[in-house]
Amino acid sequence: MANEKIMIVDDDINICELLRLYLEKENYYTIIVNDGLEAISTFSEYKPDLVLLDIMLPGLDGWQVCRKIRNMSNTPIIMLSAKGETFDKVLGLELGADDYIVKPFESKEVLARIKAVLRRTVTSAAEQVNEVEYENLVVNLTNYELKVKGVQIDTPPKELELLFHLASNPNRVFTRDQLLDEVWGFDYYGDSRTVDVHIKRLREKLEGVSDKWELRTVWSVGYKFDTKE
């Protein structure tokens, strides 16, 4: 059933071949790149449906590649890395990655993450315009646009999805685990502090925008989009 194009970016030829064999068995079309600079040109040429991206690469590292791809497209990115520290995971997600898998990994886990990310992407694309609007704030999940006081603000996809989820459910309190589950997806095995980092960055963008709503911390529970009306 699957015919999506997946670009594998890793300088380890054995890992690339293992992933290629496993993914093509599942009927995915694969494109292999071993260099960060080449990854940018190949991405522009082939326009893959998803990118599996290693961090330690020649040419440009995975962080730089992720940033450049995200500046061009909202194509899903799953980072693959031996760097398993929370800082590295959070950095990858902040740069716009949709998921982060630590090496060594099980091929079945990679496949499950790919299917989950693509499923969320297809669902979002199939939906009609998804937009919530409050005073001085418009969050559009169809075009992935955030407008504050009429001005479009560059926002990483996960930050925008988190804000949209909260603003679509005003005054409802979500725990960090609920937000990880409902925004990042049930396959995401992340640290709940990831949510805190994204909330902090959203607050920096939204500080003083309106006195009729706010991103509020509910101590010992989680967060909510609090409206005053």
Q: What is the pLDDT of residue 50?
A: 94
Tens-digit pLDDT profile for residues 127-152: 455 889 999 999 998 888 999 999 99
pLDDT band at 3, cuts 50/70/90? confident
Hey, is 138 helix, strand or coil? strand
What domains lie within the chain, and their CATH numbers? 5-126 (3.40.50.2300), 131-227 (1.10.10.10)
Please indicate whether residue 129 or residue 38 has the higher confidence score (pLDDT).
38
- Which tokens is 34 given? 């071993």
Please indicate whether residue 13 or residue 93 has the higher confidence score (pLDDT).
13
| Averaged pLDDT of the chain | 87
Tell me the average pLDDT across 114-123: 77
pLDDT band at 126, cuts 50/70/90? very low
Tell me the average pLDDT across 59-72: 90
**Distance separating alpha carbons of residues 224 and 188, to the nearest angstrom:** 21
Sequence-distant contacts of 172-176: CB under 8 A, at least 24 apart: 172/224, 172/225, 173/218, 173/221, 173/222, 173/223, 173/224, 174/222, 174/223, 174/224, 175/221, 175/222, 176/222, 176/223
pLDDT band at 19, cuts 50/70/90? very high
pLDDT band at 161, cuts 50/70/90? very high
220 conformational bin, left if phi > 0, alpha if psi -120 to 50, beta if neither? left
Q: Answer yes or no: pTM beyond 0.75.
A: no
pLDDT of 86 higher than 80: no
- Do residues 4 and 118 make contact, with C-beta atoms less than 8 angstroms apart? yes
